[in-house]
Amino acid sequence: MHRFQFSGKERSASKEEILNELMDSYGDMVKKLAFTYVKDINLAEDIAQDVFISCYNNLHLFKENSTYKTWIYRIAVNRSKDVVKSNAYKRILPFKKFTVTSREKTPELKLIDKSTQKTVTKSLMNLPSKYREILFFFYYEELKLREISEITSLKEATVKTRLSRGKQLLKKELERRRFEYE
C-alpha cells in the first residue's frame, strides 16, 4: 500500500517533499503504465519523468475530490497517448524486453514461471491499447472499476465491457501462442 494519502499535512510540506513522496509511491506504476502504451522502456522512463514534472508544476491544481493516484494516472495516460500520437514515436523501434509485475505477488502469480510471465506480457502487449490499459489497471495495479473509470474518463459500464472483451482477446492471443488459459 502506498504511504502517501491526502491528509492535510501536505499543505505544510514543500512542493519538493510532496513530489518526492509521489515519485517514491507511484514512480514504478507510472513507468509500467507508460510502457503499456509505448512498448519501449526508455521512452516509458521519459514519460514518467514528464508526468512528475507536470505534477510539480500543477500541484496547486490538484483537487481533493480525487486521490493523488488517480490524478497521476490520468496525467500518465494523457501523456502516453500524446507520445503515441506524435510523429517522433512512430520512428522508435518496437517492443523491447520488459516484464510487468505486481509489487506484491499473489500465491497464484508466484506459481507462474518466468517464461509464462513473458508469454502473458507479450500477449497483453499485442492487444489494442483500449483493452490493454484496462487489463493493466485491473490485474497489475489491482484497481477497482470505479478507479479505472476515473483514470480513463470512461463510464464504469464501459470499463467493465472493455475488461470482459480484453479478457476474451487475451485468451485468444494466449491460445494462439499455444498457451493454456484458465
Sequence ranges of the chain with CATH classification 1.10.1740.10: 11-95
C-alpha triplet 35, 54, 158: angle, nearest 5°: 55
**Cα–Cα distance list, 70 to 22, 41, 58, 66, 74 (Å):** 12, 22, 15, 7, 6
User: What grid cell was written down for 177?
Assistant: 501462442
Sequence ranges of the chain with CATH classification 1.10.10.10: 102-182
What is the C-alpha to C-alpha distance for residues 142 and 135, in angstroms, rounded to an integer?
Answer: 9
Q: How many CB atoms lie within 10 A of CB 122?
A: 15
Dihedral class, residue 142 (left if φ above 0, else alpha if ψ from -120 to 50, else beta): left
pLDDT of residue 91: 47
What is the C-alpha to C-alpha distance for residues 127 and 3, in angstroms, rounded to an integer?
Answer: 33
pTM above 0.85, yes or no: no
In the three-class reduction of DSSP (H, G, I as helix; E, B as strand; rest coil), residue 100 is classed as coil
Class of 11-95 in CATH: mainly alpha
pLDDT of residue 97: 38
The CATH code that applies to domain 102-182 is: 1.10.10.10
Q: What does each of the 182 residues of the chain score in pLDDT, given as a tens digit?
A: 344 444 444 556 788 888 899 999 999 999 999 998 888 888 899 999 999 999 989 888 888 778 888 899 999 999 998 888 875 555 443 333 344 444 556 655 555 556 677 777 888 888 998 999 899 888 888 889 999 998 888 999 999 999 999 999 988 888 887 655 44
Indicate if the alpha-carbon torsion angle 101, 105, 106, 107 is positive or negative.
Answer: positive
